[in-house]
Structure 1
Amino acid sequence: MKKTSLIKKFEVLEKEFHEIYNSIIQPHIVSNQKKYKILLKKYRKLEEVVNIYEKYKKKLTALQEANYILKNDSDPEMKEIAYLEKNQILEDLSDIEKKSDDLLFYTSTKGIENIEDDHRNAIVELRSGTGGDEACLFVEDILRMYIMYFKQVGWKYKIIHAQKGGIQGYKEIILDVSGKEGVYGNLKFESGVHRVQRIPKTESQGRVHTSAITVAVLPEIKDIEMKINLSDIKKDTFRSSGSGGQHVNKTESAVRLTHIPTKITVECQEERSQHKNFEKAMNVLRSRIYQNEKEKRFKERSIKRKSLVSTGDRSVKIRTYNYPKGRITDHRIHKSIYDLVGFMNGNIQEMINLLKLSEIEKNQ
């Protein structure tokens, strides 16, 4: 990152730090515990950024002094000391710049509704789109990519629902992903259409085909945060077609829930117990209803964004995986990474960080 660009970002976040400081002492913020906690957490993170920025500015001043001595002082001994100091300062500046990267990936509180869910766990839904069996196979590939990424960052996941493809792969799979913090804040950028260009295993003439899947990432909402009237829910049970041995064909343990007001439907069949499947389905249903309401509020307030980085619009192509060229391209930020093997093995954090940075810039 260029020094001028880094300083500009530091200055923006320093200004935001002082704005938050003035906000959290206001009575209407203190009385709103939810918003207060979000702002206080943001304040503490920005405080780290401001402290690093102070060190960075001191080092830049020291570098100017060393350069002045090297250019203007006639004393050889002073020049030698300045030369050694300059080398040490350059090393220190480099270390600070590296440490600053992650700290600069915090969103502006001017869009408080966009960041208030970032700390939550997430519901991740993968569905095959155009491309038939090849799309189902790509769902399985992306599932593996995410699982490898979860292992890297120390997150846990559970399969809530899975529907196998015709030959291989999945038509649909839903995961519950949990971690210490920032699960949704990282994964929300994955929402959208993921397109793959490659030669399918079934293609005899070696032609490249294009297929697509959709990814939906929802913030996980707890029962105490959203109460759903059970009279608004239609519950159906059926025999599971998933794994589980002979049991799945003997009892109706699978559950389908339909929220009548919104017509949102959720299925779960991964557990042997109907009760456990009901609980998991309710968890997904709460998240979908919450997201549905959130999108309504955005529309009502006429919030129009130039980028789909943080809207989670699943109807828009966000990324292309080009196997012949070994390239992954994110169309929202026009960024390509030429390490498809590494990316599909879970090395996706670099792209996520770039998307976070883009969100910061668009929120200023």
Structure 2
Amino acid sequence: MSLSRILLFQSLFKSGKHALLTKCYSQNSVNLSDPIVQTYLKYLLIEHEDLQTKPKRSNEDTRRLHEIKPVVSVLEQRIALYDSIESLKELNKKEGDQEMKKMIKEEAQIYLKRLNEIDSELQSTLVEPALTEGGVLLEVTAGAGGQEAMLFARELFDMYHSHAQYKEWQVDIASVEESDMGGVRKASMLVQGYGVPELMKIEAGVHRVQRIPATEKGGRIHTSTVSVAVLPQPTDIEVNISDRDVIIETKRASGAGGQHVNTTDSAVRIVHTPTGTVVECQEGRSQIKNKQIALQKLRTLLLEKQIAEQSSKINSERKAQIGSSNRNEKIRTYNYPQDRVTEHREGGGTVHNLKGFMEGGEPLEKLHESLLNQQRHQILMEEIQEFVKKHNINTSTS
């Protein structure tokens, strides 16, 4: 990038003449007038041009170019607008005709309005989370609270299933361990679709419910917990399972299910002999479908074992998702007497209409977006600080 373009960029963000450059931003916004942010954005422009002109780009170069392109595109629009405004200023100095001066002023106002719009667009682009196509294995496990915890585990599991359908994701029930009262001790599902890895990971942790159980005669509020774990779902390429390493057994399904129960061998049990891992699936009527789901679950569990063996850090992260399921460990509280859902993480807040929230539609979607934007903002700030530190940049004079 030429020196004149860099100087133009610096003057662009240091002019302080436009409202969006000097205002106080909300929690999930970026202060464009901050010298650190200015320096970071300036070097993004330089980096983008260097990568574009590089004779041979590596895969990492291509990835990085794709990553910063949206931000650079907005920055270049801003530079072009600022350049046009400067040209109008020069023309205004030379022009003596009052009618022409009036037209120049009107045109400048149009440019300034567009400049503010681009500032807003830059804000959104900087903190917009990067979503990917992929899948997860979501596990719901009843924690403290006995039968009440199991009943809420069922409701939470149903909420995730409804949310997957609302988002038009592919969802397959992998396993359900039911309790005597209609709850679940543990249940899992495979979810696949755009944004699934990022959005569903938000649900990992301990969920606390406060309500009066149906069996409570004294009207006392009980507190129970449910743990949610969200594990990456591998592809066939990531985990290859040889036919000689598995024992596949079929049996008749048990439990509620209609006339097909105990009449067809639809339930599937797979044993992975090298590791001793056992998975089962009997939720569907089709043996073929159950086998596919069981194999996918086996791949996920095998990947988890590989991750645990190769990286203690990732293994610790998974354990941290669900903690010990104690009542004082929570990411979210569902308070039925007060009809509210309280998200305890930064960027969350309180949502009223608990019944509507448990339907798994728009309220849960909006909460995910808010939390993901907050996470992205934190990551961006860390990236900027790390960038400045790495290049030993003196931000006071940048």
Q: Deviations over 1:182-214 (max 9, x none)?
A: 321322232222222233333333332221112
Indicate if the aligned counterparts of 2:71 and 2:125 stay in contact, CA closer than 8 A.
Answer: no
Q: Secondary structure at the match of 1:248?
A: coil
Between the aligned partners of 1:235 and 1:146, the Cα distance in structure 2 is 29
- Percent identity among equivalent residues? 27
Q: TM-score, normalised by structure 2?
A: 0.66
Residue identity in the other structure for 1:190: E
Give the structure 2 partner of residue 286 of structure 1. 299
* Worse-matched range after superposition: 126-135 or 353-362: 353-362
Give the structure 2 partner of residue 330 of structure 1. 344
Indicate if the aligned counterparts of 1:160 and 1:174 stay in contact, CA closer than 8 A.
Answer: yes
Instruction: Find 1:46's aligned residue among 68, 84, 98.
Output: 68
Between the aligned partners of 2:149 and 2:237, the Cα distance in structure 1 is 37
In the TM superposition, residue 286 of structure 1 has moved relative to its aligned partner by 0.5
Instruction: Find 1:104's aligned residue among 120, 127, 132.
Output: 127
In the TM superposition, residue 56 of structure 1 has moved relative to its aligned partner by 4.6
Q: Secondary structure at the match of 1:172?
A: strand
Name the CA shift for 1:207/1:96 in 2 (closer, same or farther; >3 Å): farther
Give the structure 2 partner of residue 352 of structure 1. 372
Q: Deviations over 1:29-56 (max 9, x none)?
A: 84xxxxx3x8745632431122123335
Indicate if the aligned counterparts of 2:85 and 2:111 stay in contact, CA closer than 8 A.
Answer: no
Written as runs of structure 1 = structure 2, the 5 A alignment for 1:273-312 is 273-299=286-312
Q: Secondary structure at the match of 1:211?
A: strand
Give the structure 2 partner of residue 70 of structure 1. none
Instruction: Find 1:314's aligned residue among 309, 321, 326.
Output: 321
Larger Rg: 2
Between the aligned partners of 1:55 and 1:202, the Cα distance in structure 2 is 64
Residue identity in the other structure for 1:315: I
Between the aligned partners of 2:277 and 2:37, the Cα distance in structure 1 is 41
* Worse-matched range after superposition: 147-156 or 53-62: 53-62
How many aligned positions are there? 333
Instruction: Find 2:137's aligned residue among 123, 129, 133.
Output: 123
Give the structure 2 partner of residue 269 of structure 1. 282
Name the CA shift for 1:20/1:188 in 2 (closer, same or farther; >3 Å): farther
Between the aligned partners of 2:288 and 2:207, the Cα distance in structure 1 is 34
Written as runs of structure 1 = structure 2, the 5 A alignment for 1:5-44 is 5=31, 12=40, 18=47, 22=51, 30=58, 36=59, 40=62, 43-44=65-66
Q: Deviations over 1:92-132 (max 9, x none)?
A: 5356526753663446xxxxxxx9xx532222222222222
Between the aligned partners of 2:124 and 2:184, the Cα distance in structure 1 is 37
Between the aligned partners of 2:42 and 2:167, the Cα distance in structure 1 is 28
Between the aligned partners of 1:361 and 1:304, the Cα distance in structure 2 is 26
Residue identity in the other structure for 2:167: V
Task: Give unmatched runs, 5+ long, in structure 1.
Answer: 31-35, 67-75, 108-114
Indicate if the aligned counterparts of 2:137 and 2:190 stay in contact, CA closer than 8 A.
Answer: yes
Q: CA RMSD in A?
A: 4.4
Name the CA shift for 1:99/1:50 in 2 (closer, same or farther; >3 Å): closer
Residue identity in the other structure for 2:31: S
Q: TM-score, normalised by structure 1?
A: 0.71
Between the aligned partners of 2:243 and 2:217, the Cα distance in structure 1 is 53
